[in-house]
Structure 1
Amino acid sequence: MKVSKEKAAQNRAALVQTAARLFRERGIDGVGVAEIGKAAGLTHGALYAHFPSKEALAAEALTHGLEISHSRMVTAHDGRLPSLSELLDSYLSEEKRDDIANGCALAASASEIGRQDEAISARYSDGFEKMAAVFEKHLHTHKAKGDHREKALAISAALIGAISASRAVLKAQPQLANEILHAVRRTVGEIAGE
């Protein structure tokens, strides 16, 4: 039975959203296509009707997650964009660290992207550049001294690293996990001239 274009688009979106969540939770290599299809309410055959490979789905899912993360950084709330301080506080919060499935795709996948193909690395690179551009714009507005791009790259890498390291030690040393977030928040604030 042929699926309508609308239903096919819904199925594709369900696969991308489900894969994005599962990949953030367990990593690209930690989830199989059958599991993604089942979690999306479809068969793995349906997955291959939309994507030529798991890698193609991973690239699309990563892009989806990165777009959501970027949107959070640049969407106005109460009629204004988030301030630099608000972005840093939000990103480095214990709540964001603990919500891997809905958190930043950059932090969730940082350690495994180097083992993926070039297409996935390119998507990650684009997401990283967008994140850094948001911080660079804030640094210009903030009138921070020094090379704004260099600082924006350092801030982005520090935030991603802080979330990754904090998650890595959380089960064994929750206090250390929280210290990492607070130390990076304070240090990045100093770099940003807050």
Structure 2
Amino acid sequence: MMVSINAIFTSWRTQPGKISQAREATYMRVTKAQAQANRAHIVETASVQFRERGFDGVGVADLMAAAGFTHGGFYKHFGSKSDLMAESAACSISQAVEQSKDVDPARFIEYYLSREHRDNPGTGCTMAALSGDAARQSDDVKATFADGIESMIAALAPANTSPDDAQWKQARANTIDRFAHALGALLLSRSCPNDSPLADEILDVCRANMLAQLQPLRPIDCS
């Protein structure tokens, strides 16, 4: 059944309060959703900027400009730069953890110690890019990294053993050792110029040795 335009206008004239309330509610929903989207965009932008330039290498004004906003809008979303540092690190670490779950250890090492990963810190591992910076930050930022490291260890470790099992403890120890070695090798390689033969050699040697350690030990031939 068609409703006439006159009927609609009559309804609006006789119920102006309800129409105003409906418009205001719709506007509030749109505004809140946009604010959440803006905040998420700032966090994502900051995550890349921090990984590329370090926590102290980029200021709030530059971060907001990179995200397409003015400096003054920052404090509508965050209490301080430290708050953004912690949130952006938590976001990028969480994404890395999800991507690392159930990944074959050899594949993880091959990518982690690749030239592609080394040369693109802005889209790479947050812990490799910012652990040195985090060591000089607040306890809140350090706690974010500690939680992230713990989550990464859990994602990379075998999941078929119980925490009360000696086998689980050994598997966890092996995972910590492997991750720490990979992260350290990446940091050393990044500390050299990208076109330096030493930078590539560090990756090549450490990647080969770590992959070799993953191979099962050959049984001793006693014949």
TM-score by length of 2: 0.75
Counterpart code for 1:6: A
Shift of 1:156: 1.2
Matched, 1:113 2:113: no
**AA partner of residue 100 (structure 1):** P
Equivalent of 1:174, from 187, 196, 199?
196
Match for 1:176: what amino acid?
L
Letter in structure 2 aligned against 1:185: R
Give % identity: 35
Deviation at 1:72, TM superposition (A): 1.9
- State the partner residue of 2:68: 41
Please report how far the alpha carbon of residue 174 of structure 1 lies from its aligned counterpart in structure 2 after TM superposition: 1.9
Cα distance change of structure 1 residues 41 and 145 upon mapping to structure 2, 3 Å threshold:
closer
User: Is contact 1:37-1:47 (8 Å) kept?
Assistant: yes
| Greater Cα offset, 32-41 or 130-139 | 130-139
Between the aligned partners of 1:185 and 1:139, the Cα distance in structure 2 is 26
Contact 1:128/1:156 (8 A) holds in 2? no
Q: Helix, strand or coil for the counterpart of 1:110?
A: helix
Looking at structure 2, the residues matched to 105 and 158 of structure 1 have their Cα atoms a distance apart, in angstroms, of 16
Q: CA-atom RMSD, angstroms?
A: 2.4
Task: Return the alpha-carbon distance in structure 2 between the equivalents of residues 91 and 136 of structure 1.
Answer: 16
Q: Any gaps of 5 or more consecutive residues in structure 2?
A: 1-27, 162-166, 217-223
Query: Which runs of at least 4 in structure 1 moved beyond 6 Å after TM superposition?
Result: none
| Correspondence 1:121-160 to 2 at 5 A | 121-137=142-158, 147-160=170-183
Partners of 2:83 and 2:147 in 1: how far apart? 16
Number of residue pairs aligned between Structure 1 and Structure 2:
184
Note the alpha carbon deviations across 1:143-164, whole angstroms, 9 max, x for none.
x998211111111111111111
1:99-158 deviations in Å (ceiling 9; x for gaps)? 111011010002111100011101111111122222321797xxx998211111111111
Whole-Å Cα distance in 2 between the matches of residues 99 and 152 of structure 1? 24
Whose Rg is larger? 2
